[in-house]
Amino acid sequence: MQLIDKTVIEKKRPPRLLKNNIMKSIFLLCTLLGLIVLVVLIVDTLIDGYDKITLDFLTQFNSSRAENAGFFGAIIGSLWLMLVTAPVAIILSVGTALYLEEYAPKNRITDFIKINISNLAGVPSVVFGLLGLAMFVRALALGNSVLAAGLTLALMILPVIVVSSQEAIRAVPSTVREASIGMGATKWQTVSRIILPAAIPGIITGIILSISRAIGETAPLVVIGVPTTLLVTPSSVFDTFQAMPMQIYSWVKMPQEEFQYIAAAGIIILLIVLLLMNSVAIFIRNKFSRRY
């Protein structure tokens, strides 16, 4: 009987292994295809723009002449923008996730809110630009300032951080909560000292992805009316500003071929800033991962 069973198993195994190898090969091909396209784009951008990255390019403002065009105003403006977007989005989204997972009653209203937050994560960015135009630019009369753009981008990335934070909080074992409460800790002590530190790595991952999306967005800034040429840097959140995606978008539209190389140089700077921000976030995530 054992010999018969073994023979049957050996006959059934090859088709399953063949199917498994075929699917593995398909997934590997998809991954390689995406990587090849990404590498080609990055190499092409580096070839076109690396020699345009000079000290003058980093310290001058934009100009109608390609040889005098710089990226300084756009870099400073984007940094100002992230100083508004990141704190607002992180505080609101993490607070929302903690409330929904730890404090909100489990009923239909809470489920309805969670479903709508998840749906908002897939809304196109131009819709958030229209919302920012109506709410912050016109209703609150903030104009095309750093504050109006930062609040708009914060609303855009807030659902993504909320969803990822909820998943990170939900992944903390319930036994940890029960042990903390069983030892006499209050609800807030359990949340602040046990649950939130344990969920930090997952929360930081969502923040990294969201900030990466925000710093490269163009559509909301176009709708709000952020200028592409500005010869001053903002001194407060109520000032008008430039942004790196808008500046690159403006150069790409220029008919002169030289501006295409300048745009490639701007893309390289944007990637470097993005990698630096992500590196800091990854360092924080890994530090908390080792601790908890």
Each residue of 13-58: pLDDT tens digit? 567 788 888 999 999 999 999 999 999 999 999 998 888 888 888 8
Helix (H, G, I), strand (E, B) or coil at 88: helix
CB atoms inside a 10 Å sphere around CB 135:
15
**Residue 5 binned pLDDT confidence (cut-offs 50, 70, 90):** low
Sequence-separated (6 or more) residues with CB below 8 Å from residue 246: 74, 218, 221, 222, 226, 227, 228
Question: For residue range 268-279, what is the model confidence (pLDDT) as tens digits?
Answer: 998 888 888 778
Give the mean pLDDT of 186-191.
86
Amino acid, res. 197: P
Per DSSP, the three-state class of 71 is coil
% of the chain residues with pLDDT over 90: 29
Check: CB of residue 234 under 8 Å from CB of residue 144: no
Token pair in block for residue 204: 């930081």
pTM (two decimals):
0.83
- Asked whether the predicted pLDDT for residue 286 surpasses 80, the reply is no
What's the CATH code, domain 55-291?
1.10.3720.10
Q: Are 215 and 275 in contact (CB under 8 A)?
A: no
The pair of structure tokens assigned to 286 is: 């890994």
d(CA 276, CA 280): 6
If one compares 53 and 5, the residue with the highest pLDDT of the two is 53
Query: What are the backbone dihedrals phi and psi of residue 162, each rounded to the nearest 5 degrees, phi first?
Result: -60, -45
State the average pLDDT over residues 190-196.
87
